[in-house]
Amino acid sequence: MYAIIKAGGRQAKVAPGDVISVDRIPDAGDSVTFTPVLVVNDEGDTITAQDVLSKASVTAEVLDADEKGPKIDIFTYKNKTGNRRRKGHRQRYTTVRVTGIDLP
């Protein structure tokens, strides 16, 4: 069984036991719950009905609450003017382990 969840504006395919990094969840605590967008059960049936999925949940335990991603260097340059600018960015992530997918 696996599910596709939406976390932080992105979608991820998860199964029980998977470890994924999602955008930082402030005040996550010990566990978080996601609402699935799509679920495929063990028989291979796809569940996309909104009334069923609104009652379903994907639970995960928080492993690392404030992990930093890789440094992204930003460099802008304009020709013939001497205009140069450097910036950097490091996205913060929350690492979670999926513990279960619950269907009604």
Q: Is 51 helix (H, G, I), strand (E, B) or coil?
A: helix
Question: What pLDDT, in 10s, does the model give residues 6-40?
Answer: 998 899 999 999 999 999 998 888 999 999 999 99
Is residue 84 domain-resident?
no
Is residue 70 domain-resident?
no
Is residue 81 domain-resident?
no
First-to-last alpha carbon distance for the chain, in angstroms, is 14
DSSP conformational letter for 90? E
Is residue 72 domain-resident?
no
Query: Residue 86: which of 95, 70, 73 has the closest Cα?
Result: 73
Number of domains in the chain: 1
Is residue 98 domain-resident?
yes
- The domain in which residue 43 lies consists of 2-64+93-102
Is residue 33 domain-resident?
yes
pTM: 0.81
Question: What pLDDT, in 10s, does the model give residues 58-78?
Answer: 999 999 988 999 999 999 999
Is residue 29 domain-resident?
yes
Spacing of C-alpha 42 from chain mean position? 23
**What tokens does 90 get?**
């490091």
Q: Give the span between the Cα atoms of 65 and 3, in whole angstroms.
A: 23
